[in-house]
Amino acid sequence: MDKELKEVLKGIRGFRDFYPEDFAEIKKILNIMREVSGQFGYEEYEGPSVEYAKLIEYKSGQSLATETFRLYDREERKLALRPEQTPTLARMVTNQQQRYAKPMRWFSIPRVFRDETPQRGRVKEHFQFNADLIGFDHVGADAEIIALSTTIIKKAGLKDEDFICTINSRELVQSFIEYLEISNYLDIIKVIDSREKYIQDFIQEDLVKKGVPQDQTVELSLLVRTAWMQDPKLENLGKKLLENKYLKDYTKNLEGIAENVIKKALKDKGLTAEKADKLYHFASIKASPQLFIERMKSEIDIGDNALEALKKMEDLIDYLEMFGVLENCIYDASVARGLDYYTGIVYEFYDRTGSVVRSIAGGGRYDQLVESFGGGLIPATGIGMGETVLLSVLKQLGRVEKYTHPAKVYVAPISKDVVKESAKIANELRQHFGTIFNPFNWKLSRQLEDANNRGTPLMIIVGERDLKENKVTIRELDTGDQNLIDTSKIVEEIKKRLT
């Protein structure tokens, strides 16, 4: 085999092959997403995998546009594989929204594509659940999306203490930035939203300077980033840092390192030292929803417009409590969401076990996106949740169910003479159970081996002599126990044994 073919057969890094046992894990999460969405009254829709590149550039911002896979069709049109679903949704709503009663509750689970560097919880192609509530400007809508997402995450296997929903307001952040008379607010928002990335980059560069092998610096800097995000006081994850000879020095002043790095990033964007100090203080406020509101009002002069945005966050508390998810939420002024179209309440779900540094899910209010397409002012809020991070956390915690073959019954004809009758039995059983039947004139020993290899729990052995008396043998493959039963009672007997 030549080197090129050998490389091709490996597949493209960042794209995954789903063998049956792998896809079963993904499918369980996707099924939960569909089930919970239905319970909340959401309708499923879908859009194309390819859009005009201009749509992505125009609606998602240049930072996301640089991560898209570009292509040209035979008409030389500039296209892109969809990196997210929201621009497609906005385009669809613009074209047909008059047909649907408001609010519209829609969800979709498309495959999306991003040309990012693969790492744990990040791949180049993944399934992404999207749920949107369209046509109603009320914080109760934001609370519903948060409740829907929380229900999915818990039903998938995470407990209350394993994750947290961090909430902020893009309107609050932007209003405070404008109150400080800073004109390049989008640049500043991106710094605030990427605070943990600045810390990771600093640690990585510092480790390189100290002579740490290059192949270790990414993983080690990610560990520090995770600790700073999920456990800044190092009460839980600090032990991992202290045990590592390269990282233990950073534990002495992790918050101080973060402050210096982020303030420098803000100054690099043109802020004075005074404004950088104020913005850092603002972005560092992170607390329970009630305490967050109190601290914002008492610690910082944020201006009248920001106070109005803060009032919406205060109103949101009642609805989070109404939906039963208040205890799963904290308010965090650093959450801003990097995409340009967000306008109000924004939210991100994070793992709290230290398993993955990336968010499990994220979204927010985008009240002007449809209007910017000429579709009128249609407020909306929604979330995106990839399966990769959620599955990665569940695997780290050992909460992924062991794969079982879909066939629960194996119909085994002993001889060629009973193959037709065995086929009839298999056809009947398939109305109730996953059933394997091989009409290949195999010996019973081979069929037993095949059934055991697949983990099939029960076998129906069909012999000519037994059939004449309307009987077959039912065998439990894990124990080898078997006995004769009437053909009329096969379904009843299988149900009894499977339960």
Q: Convert the pLDDT of each residue in 364-394 to its tens digit.
A: 998 887 787 777 789 999 999 999 999 999 9
Give the per-residue pLDDT at 350: 92
Alpha carbons 307 and 56: distance in angstroms, whole number: 33
Q: pLDDT-derived band of residue 130, with 50, 70 and 90 as boundaries?
A: very high
Report yes or no: 437 and 469 within 8 Å, Cβ to Cβ: no
Report yes or no: 145 and 106 within 8 Å, Cβ to Cβ: no
Model confidence at 51: pLDDT above 90: yes
DSSP letters of 273-318? HHHHHHHHHHHT-EE-HHHHHHHHHHH----HHHHHHHHHHHHHHH
Alpha carbons 296 and 302: distance in angstroms, whole number: 8
Q: Which residue has the higher pLDDT, 366 or 239?
A: 366
> Residue 437, SS3?
strand
User: Which residues face 71 on adjacent strands?
Assistant: 79
Tokens of 78: 């500039």
Q: Which residue has the higher pLDDT, 245 or 119?
A: 245
397-420: buried (b, 16+ CB within 10 Å) or exposed (e) per residue? eeebeeeebebbbbbbbbeeebbe
Do residues 111 and 203 share a domain? Answer: no
Q: pLDDT-derived band of residue 40, with 50, 70 and 90 as boundaries?
A: very high
pTM: 0.90
pLDDT digit string, tens, across residues 143-199: 999 999 999 999 999 999 999 999 999 999 999 999 999 988 888 988 888 888 888
Do residues 10 and 120 share a domain? Answer: yes
Do residues 316 and 255 share a domain? Answer: no
The answer to whether residue 290 sits within a structural domain is no
**For residue 237, what is the DSSP state?**
S
Give the per-residue pLDDT at 232: 61
Give the per-residue pLDDT at 291: 97
Report yes or no: 414 and 465 within 8 Å, Cβ to Cβ: no
CATH at residue 34: 3.30.930.10
Do residues 391 and 322 share a domain? Answer: yes
**For residue 122, what is the DSSP state?**
B
Tokens of 487: 């053909």
The answer to whether residue 281 sits within a structural domain is no
pLDDT digit string, tens, across residues 322-339: 999 999 999 999 998 866
Do residues 165 and 211 share a domain? Answer: no
Q: Which residue has the higher pLDDT, 372 or 85?
A: 85
Do residues 145 and 208 share a domain? Answer: no
- Domain span at residue 207 reads 183-270
The answer to whether residue 280 sits within a structural domain is no
Give the per-residue pLDDT at 118: 67
Model confidence at 399: pLDDT above 80: yes
Do residues 234 and 199 share a domain? Answer: yes
Q: Cα dist. 151→140, 172, 330 in Å?
A: 16, 27, 17
N residues, the chain: 499
Model confidence at 61: pLDDT above 70: no
β pairing state of 458-462 and 409-413: parallel
Tell which phi-psi region holds residue 407, choosing left (phi > 0), alpha (psi between -120 and 50) or beta: beta
> Residue 17, SS3?
coil
Do residues 150 and 198 share a domain? Answer: no
End-to-end CA distance of the chain: 50
Do residues 165 and 69 share a domain? Answer: yes
**Residue that terminates a domain, selected from 270, 287, 312:** 270
Domain count, the chain: 3
Give the closest residue to 418 by CA, choosing from 392, 444, 400: 444
Model confidence at 231: pLDDT above 70: no
Of 83-87, 289-293, 451-455, the one with minimum mean pLDDT is 83-87
Give the closest residue to 192 by CA, choosing from 159, 217, 166, 214: 166
Sign of torsion over alpha carbons 150, 155, 160, 162: negative
DSSP letters of 340-378? TT--SEEEEEEESSSS-SS-SEEEEE-TTHHHHTTS---
pLDDT digit string, tens, across residues 446-484: 999 999 999 999 999 999 999 999 999 999 999 999 999
Q: Which of 71-75, 90-94, 427-431 has the highest mean pLDDT?
A: 427-431
Which amino acid, 121?
Answer: G
Do residues 432 and 463 share a domain? Answer: yes
Give the per-residue pLDDT at 414: 96
Give the per-residue pLDDT at 89: 93
Average pLDDT, whole number, for the chain? 91
